[in-house]
Structure 1
Amino acid sequence: MGSKVGNNNYDYSFKVLLIGDSGVGKSSLLLSFISNFVHDLSPTIGVDFKVKLLTIGGKRLKLTIWDTAGQERFGTLTSSYYRGAHGIILVYDVTRRETFTNLSDVWAKEVQLYSTNQECIKILLGNKVDRENERAVTREEGLALAQEHKCFFLESSAKNRENVRQCFEDLTLKLQILEVPSLLENGSSVVKKQILQQKQVDSKTHSGGCCS
């Protein structure tokens, strides 16, 4: 799945995509995770990507996170953008219902059509929960859609950084477990203990749902 790397920089490398309509906050989410700094961003033109190194469960992981423009005119990039992706974060704006319905009508269909990795892990992410008084999509609706499309589910705010790091770290942990299943099956290694502890923390600290 991920690529095992035999150097001193990282143990595994994963390609992660951010997809969804223009203006849902994909670039702000990425910037918040990479640099812990968020400001208003103009729409991404074409494709941008950032690299983040993490250590989870005793392993050094390299995430290459791709951010694409949500506009249809960049559709020529589509197939190469999805090729080889290990994780996909489908983002909608909880204050704009059309961005939510487009996940089913447009983006989920693209994932099915172009994703080349059958074991790709997906997270449905409802962004901009800091604007709760403008909410147009309920949490229950988001969870139901995530279950329909076999995604994990979270809500976030790139503006106040709520659940931003949680989203990327949850995805990375799931990728790592899928990559090295022996971590959960064999022995009582330190790595296994750390991952199991993290899974317990996840289940206690946020109520995001998933389907398997």
Structure 2
Amino acid sequence: METVDLKLVLLGQPGVGKTCLVYRYLYNTFGETISTIGASFAMKKVEPSDGGRPCNLGIWDTAGQERFDSLSSFYCRGARAAIICFDLTDRASFECVTTKWIRKVMDEAEQGCHICIVGTKLDLVQAGAATRAVKADEIEALAQKHHAHWFETSAKQGEGVAQIFEKIVRQYHSRANAGDARQAGLPQAKSKSGGGCC
């Protein structure tokens, strides 16, 4: 079966845990990381459990610092999926999702790019080590506004991480199959609008 390529970009403020999220997904490890300079790239071949076409998932982990803004725009180009991360204990990082990162995806990525809004460091909230700064209903409302999906995760514990990437691959195949149906002139099932935590 033919393998398809899917470009995924990770965006978010510095220190929100983008690199830790990628390391947990790729290597099932967690450790202290240094700030990404520019961007880092990894590839993972994903074999969908539903029998869909295998997917080469190209993951671009971008730096969040302002001095690398032009580079993050560059890496957004051609992306069909984006994970926008924020720290559940840092309100300012969530505000940047709206004021900066979603706009960047809409301006630079492929039209119809699938967005996942991801709250990180859930383990700190659950352990009482830090106060939650963003309510779940706020994340849900933002996701619905932008027809995105949303997740709360802990890269440290591995909670919710794999589900994000699985959702991205499933969504990509769903959209590709819908496109195939349009090209063949076949009727299509109506899709639900809006996002949700899946």
- TM-score normalised by length of structure 2: 0.85
The yes-or-no answer on 1:128 pairing with 2:125 is: no
Mean CA deviation greater in 128-137 or 174-183: 174-183
CA distance in 2, matches of 1:17, 1:182: 22
Identity of matched residues, %: 35
Cα deviation digits, residues 160-182 of structure 1 (max 9, x gap): 01010011011111011111227
Among 56, 59, 73, the alignment partner of 1:79 is 73
Deviation at residue 75 of structure 1 after TM alignment: 1.7
Match of 1:36 in 2: 28
Runs of 4+ in 1 over 3 A off after TM superposition: 182-185
Among 34, 37, 47, the alignment partner of 2:39 is 47
* CA RMSD, 1 decimal: 1.9
Among 149, 162, 174, the alignment partner of 1:165 is 162
Match of 2:14 in 1: 22
Q: How many pairs were matched up?
A: 179
Distance 1:158 1:184, change over 3 A: farther
Q: Is the 8 A contact 1:177 1:183 kept in 2?
A: no
Distance 1:13 1:39, change over 3 A: same
Cα deviation digits, residues 24-51 of structure 1 (max 9, x gap): 0000000000000110101101110111
Match of 2:177 in 1: 180
Q: Is the 8 A contact 1:38 1:159 kept in 2?
A: yes
Q: Is the 8 A contact 2:114 2:148 kept in 1?
A: yes
CA distance in 2, matches of 1:183, 1:164: 30
**3-state SS of 2:15 partner:** coil
Match of 1:144 in 2: 141
- TM-score normalised by length of structure 1: 0.79
Q: Is the 8 A contact 1:78 1:114 kept in 2?
A: no
